[in-house]
Amino acid sequence: MSWEVWGIIALCCIALEFMTVDFSFLMIAGGAFVAAGVSAGNDSLVAQVAAFAVVSILLLAIVRPWAKNHFNPKGTKVGTVQDQIGKRARALTVIDENAGRVKIGGDVWSSRSAGGVIPEGSDVVVTDIEGVVAIVAQSAHSGQ
């Protein structure tokens, strides 16, 4: 196989990597680039495929875990809704056991009170998340 074919395979893998951002296709692209280099100096398809397989497997086994940890050290749990528990928020509307709206950081959430009615403008604390609804309680040192 010619080096151009391996180059096209590598470029396609890089394009797929931009869509997944999982470092898997990037590692396979590395193997394809090495196979392209081998094919430039060797016409043996067996040598090209062997180089592709060995380099891809090594990159997937060694470099990919390092890259994932380096670029996302907290793992896949970064930004989960459960991270909102314990955060302070501001009541945008009156909040009762049925409905309300709060602002947590820069995001507006549907909310319910953990107990009692919370006036608009009060400082609250997120005590739980149920689906897409923040369960809140009035903060001990609320402005109200």
What per-residue string of b and e applies to 6-16 under the rule 16 or more CB within 10 Å gives b?
bbebbeebbee
Residue 59's identity, in one-letter code, is: L
Question: Which has more confidence, 89 or 1?
Answer: 89
Give the pairing type, strands 107-113 and 123-130. unpaired
State mean pLDDT over 94-101. 94
Rounded average pLDDT over 87-101: 93
In Å, how far are 102, 110, 119 from 106, measured between CA atoms?
Answer: 10, 13, 20
Confidence bin at 31 (pLDDT 50/70/90): very high
- Structural domains of the chain sorted by starting position, each given as residue range(s) with its CATH number in brackets: 3-76 (no CATH), 81-138 (2.40.50.140)
**What mean pLDDT do residues 84-113 have?**
92
Task: Decide if 136 contacts 116 (C-beta within 8 A).
Answer: no
Q: Which residues pair with 50 in a beta bridge?
A: none
- Per residue in 66-89, pLDDT tens? 888 887 665 555 556 777 888 999
Which amino acid, residue 106? Answer: G
- The per-residue pLDDT for 144 is 47
CB within 8 Å of 71: residues ≥ 6 apart: none
Question: Given this model, what pLDDT does residue 49 score?
Answer: 95
Pairing state between β 133-138 and 107-113: parallel
pLDDT digits 0-9 by tens, 35-65: 999 999 888 999 999 999 999 999 999 999 9
